[in-house]
Amino acid sequence: MRVVSGSARGRRIIAPKGTKIRPTSDRVKEAIFNTIAALVNQSDFLDLFAGTGSMGIEALSRGARSCTFIDNSPQAIKCVKNNLSNIGFEDRSIVMLGDSTKMVTKLTQTYDIIFLDPPYGYNLVMEIMKNLKLLLKEEGIIVVETESKIELPSQCDTFRLLKKSRYGDTQVGYYTHKGGN
């Protein structure tokens, strides 16, 4: 796994051994960042269920001002910290250990881009999206990566679905505030 583009392009991202962490494939990561490219530079990015941190690191490489990484696995947090250190992005990052579904209720910063990739099989998307309305800036976007068999609703709380794409057994949905673009 590598950083696809930006200042850290080609740099390696390490994933822990085992199957508990399911990193976003480079193909899906590139498609997501092609879709949100205009929003990334100087953005504040939130990477929920961060795993290896590859999505937040990609955002930082492409010019994001800051990234907050949250995961409930100590192994994942250690991995994120190691990857940030190896690439040199620690100064623009906050790394937090905790359950993403609970941690979002404690955050006070707002974000331009919120990325969430909850573990497959737990159907957490709707539960967590309900707690994101105060965290997403008015012109911001939420990117949801989940398994293809989950039906992403056209509306969820104060958000509406802008676009949905499928990549094998993965799907990506893009949400914004109902009044937004």
| 65-95 tens-digit pLDDT | 999 999 999 999 999 999 999 999 999 999 9
159: Cβ contacts below 8 Å, ≥ 6 apart: 129, 132, 133, 136, 142, 175, 176, 177, 178
Dist CA 49 CA 88 (whole Å):
21
Residue 19 pLDDT > 70: no
- What is the spatial order of strands in the sheet that 159-167 belongs to? 93-97, 66-71, 44-48, 111-116, 136-147, 170-177, 159-167, 155-156
pLDDT at 126 over 90: no
Q: Find, among 179, 167, 176, 178, the residue nearest to 39 by Cα.
A: 176
The whole-number pLDDT of residue 180 equals 58
- The model's pLDDT over 128-166, given as tens digits with 9 standing for 90+, comes to 998 999 999 999 999 999 998 888 989 988 899 999 999
Look at 17 and 37; give whichever has higher pLDDT: 37
3-class SS of residue 154 = coil
Q: CATH homologous superfamily of domain 26-177?
A: Vaccinia Virus protein VP39 (3.40.50.150)
For residues 115-134, average pLDDT: 87
Residue 86 or residue 120, greater confidence: 86
Indicate the pairing of strand 66-71 with strand 170-177.
Answer: unpaired
Domain ranges of the chain: 26-177
Across 32-56, average pLDDT: 96
Neighbours of 105 (CB within 10 A): 11
Read off the pTM: 0.94
What does the pLDDT average to over 117-125?
A: 82
CA distances from residue 103 to 11, 161, 176 in whole angstroms, order as listed: 29, 24, 21
Cα–Cα distance for residue pair 33/5, rounded to 1 Å = 9
| Length of the chain counted residue by residue | 181
The percentage of the chain sitting over the pLDDT mark of 90, rounded to a whole number, equals 73
More confident residue, 25 or 110: 110
